Structure 1
Amino acid sequence: MTHEQFFEDYVCGATRTTTGRTITEADIVLHAGQTGDFFPHHMDAAWCATQDFGQRIAHGTLVFSVGIGLTATVINPRAMSYGYDRMRFVKPVFIGDSIYAKVEITDKREHPKRSGHGIVVETVTVTNQRQETVLACEHLHIVERRAAQG
């Protein structure tokens, strides 16, 4: 779906919540193969049984990728991702956990070098099926203005 929004159209405090996705063993194995991260925390069930969490945990980068992917439901041709700040892996995600993302517009500011654009910050909070926060970050977007600032 496409939804055109200029910088001026964004409202701080606006929120949206995504549908969920269950993390599977296949997700973890595929992510390990794609990234080369075969740490036992993700791959060795017997070793994990001896650790505090007692079971394998999903890679933080997997939770981030899936969580952000859940938010990618609308294409705005006036905006593009500028990066991520303040990312934290708050709690572990286990095989069988379902994750959801909430997005809130938390800041709008001038772009320091592009008068025709501004920066919009979305705070992304990823939770599990128990409504526990498992990941949080800020997603920055460069967004076109209706008219360049002089």
Structure 2
Amino acid sequence: MSELAYDDIKVGDEASLIRTITDADIVSFADLTGDTNPIHLDAEYAAHSMFGERIAHGMLTAGLISAVLGTRLPGTNSIYLGQDLKFVAPVKIGDTVTVTATVTEKRNDKRIIKLRTAASNQRGELVIDGTAVMKKVGL
């Protein structure tokens, strides 16, 4: 976990994490959220979809963005104010996803930090692109 002070965070700072998405991740996410859409859980159904196989929930991958923001940059003592996301490509079982957050702007009067958020797979293909707004409440 990162406990960065607001003043120590600079435009251009970046943090990331890497995770390989498993079948168990998808099943657990479906159980937790109740999103049991067969595109995520039923191989036969998914085989006839535009993806040709099961895919991870978009919000499962987006949750990894939350993990970067809450634990690395800006880290603890931050509040998630907003997130814009564009789901660019599917994440499939076995894909290794790299999620990156990059500080693009700071608003010192309100201690607000804007970040570009992105996720890409092991082939370097962008799967999620977005922008997050965080507020540093401590340090």
Task: Give the structure 2 partner of residue 39 of structure 1.
Answer: 37
Q: Offset at 1:122? A: 1.5
Task: Tell which structure's C-alpha radius of gyration is larger.
Answer: 1
Of 112, 122, 135 in structure 2, the residue corresponding to residue 129 of structure 1 is: 122
Q: Once superposed, what is the RMSD of the aligned Cα atoms? A: 2.3
Aligned partners of 1:68 and 1:101 also within 8 Å = no
TM-score (norm 1): 0.79
Contact 2:15–2:68 (8 Å) recurs in 1: no
CA drift of 1:86 comes to: 1.6
8 Å CA contact 1:81–1:139 kept in 2: the answer is no
What is the distance in 1 between the residues matched to 2:48 and 2:84?
A: 31
Change (3 A) 1:2 1:42: closer
Percent of aligned positions that are identical: 33
Structure 1 residues without counterparts, runs of 5 or longer: none
| Residue 3 of structure 1: how far off its partner (Å) | 3.2
Change (3 A) 1:118 1:41: same
Q: Which runs of 5+ in 2 are unaligned?
A: none
- After alignment, is 59-68 or 26-35 more displaced? 59-68
The structure-2 alpha-carbon separation of the partners of 1:33 and 1:52, relative to structure 1 and needing over 3 Å to count, comes to same
* Mapping 1:39-118, distance limit 5 Å: 39-70=37-68, 72-74=70-72, 76=75, 79-109=77-107, 117-118=110-111
- Native 8 Å contact 1:67 1:100 kept in 2: no
Deviation (angstroms), 1:12: 1.5
